């Protein structure tokens, strides 16, 4: 039997298990300071001052290394700055932190649930501000991450699964950084977690088309549209043309 390929994020997380085990929840004072830095960073992010935003999100994660939302927003800031290697690291840290929090919940359930509640509240405010300021694409991504945060809260009673939106973003960072194979791996991992993540199916269609897997590209596009994702007409035309040539 051919062994199933393990997503790169999972491999990296496994390699850092011992380090994560040593991490602890931030003390109340550090947590408050981290939230202050995060909120300042979010103001910069909304005003598209992404370099300043990344700095503040980094300060937040220094105060609270398990502040998953700050890691995620740092990654999004780096994506907008086209600093893709830095974005990859930020998204990886976000995933590592969610796994670490899940492990800590066994002995610190109340504190972990409170931290999850704090992050859901912050993300709801982020979605609201982005929508009001007309940043529809950023707001859409924030909404998806909000759903992931809610699922992470419920996962404390079930089993750990990495957040699909972060896997999607990690794949995009890999793709922009020139690593198509790693991007495909993470996007596949994303749809394993959330089969209705239309953007991930759309992105997989691009990779399939680029690598000559036209039938798979056609199937991925259909799945993306079924999930409600608006596929670029040019991509659909390119796939059709490639299909005719086969």
Query: SS3 string of 3-57?
Result: CCCCCHHHHHHHHCHHHHHCCCCCCHHHHHHHHHHHHHHHHHHHCCCHHHHHHHH
pLDDT reported for residue 134: 75
Across 103-130, average pLDDT: 76
Could you tell me the residue ranges of all domains in the chain? 8-193, 195-246
pLDDT digits (tens, 9 = 90+) for 145-194: 667 766 665 555 567 889 999 999 999 999 999 999 999 999 999 999 99
Q: What is the largest CA-CA distance in the chain?
A: 63
pLDDT band at 245 (very low <50, low <70, confident <90, very high): confident
67-81, 93-107, 110-124, 231-245: least confidently modelled range = 110-124
pLDDT reported for residue 156: 54
Is the pLDDT at 19 greater than 60, yes or no?
no
Cα 134 to Cα 152: distance, rounded to the nearest angstrom: 28
Give 132's Cβ-side CA count (13 Å radius): 9
Q: Do residues 231 and 221 touch, judged by C-beta distance below 8 A?
A: yes
Alpha helices, DSSP H, located in 22-161:
28-46, 50-63, 68-80, 84-132, 136-155
pLDDT band at 73 (very low <50, low <70, confident <90, very high): very high
Cα 79 to the center of its chain, rounded Å: 12
More confident residue, 116 or 29: 29
Across 34-53, average pLDDT: 94
Fold classification of 8-193 (topology level): 1.25.40
Is the pLDDT at 109 greater than 60, yes or no?
yes
pLDDT reported for residue 39: 92
pLDDT band at 225 (very low <50, low <70, confident <90, very high): very high
Four-point Cα dihedral 109, 112, 116, 121, nearest 10: 100
Is the pLDDT at 8 greater than 60, yes or no?
no
Across 92-104, average pLDDT: 90
Cα 203 to Cα 216: distance, rounded to the nearest angstrom: 12
88-102, 103-117, 171-185: least confidently modelled range = 103-117
pLDDT reported for residue 22: 44
Q: Is 209 helix (H, G, I), strand (E, B) or coil?
A: helix
Percent of the chain at pLDDT exceeding 90: 59
């Amino acid at each position: 039997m051919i062994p199933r390929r393990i997503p790169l994020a999972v491999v990296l997380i496994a390699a850092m298990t011992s380090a994560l085990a040593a991490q602890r929840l931030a003390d109340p004072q550090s947590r408050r300071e981290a939230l202050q830095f995060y909120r300042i960073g979010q103001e910069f992010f909304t005003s598209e001052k992404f370099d300043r935003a990344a700095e503040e999100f980094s300060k937040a994660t220094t105060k609270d290394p398990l502040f998953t939302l700050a890691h995620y927003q740092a990654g999004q800031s780096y994506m907008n700055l086209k600093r893709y290697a830095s974005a990859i690291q930020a998204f990886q840290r976000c995933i590592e932190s969610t796994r670490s929090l899940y492990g800590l919940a066994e002995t610190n359930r109340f504190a972990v649930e409170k931290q999850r509640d704090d992050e859901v509240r912050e993300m709801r405010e982020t979605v609201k501000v982005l929508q009001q300021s007309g940043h529809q694409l950023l707001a859409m991504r924030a909404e998806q991450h909000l759903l992931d945060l809610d699922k992470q809260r419920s996962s404390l009673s079930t089993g750990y699964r990495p957040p699909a939106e972060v896997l999607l973003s990690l794949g995009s960072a890999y793709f922009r950084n020139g690593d198509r194979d790693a991007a495909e791996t993470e996007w596949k991992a994303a749809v394993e977690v959330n089969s209705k993540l239309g953007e991930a199916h759309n992105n997989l269609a691009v990779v399939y088309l680029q690598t000559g897997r036209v039938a798979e590209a056609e199937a991925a596009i259909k799945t993306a549209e079924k999930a409600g994702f608006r596929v670029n007409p040019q991509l659909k035309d390119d796939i059709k043309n490639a299909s005719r040539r086969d």
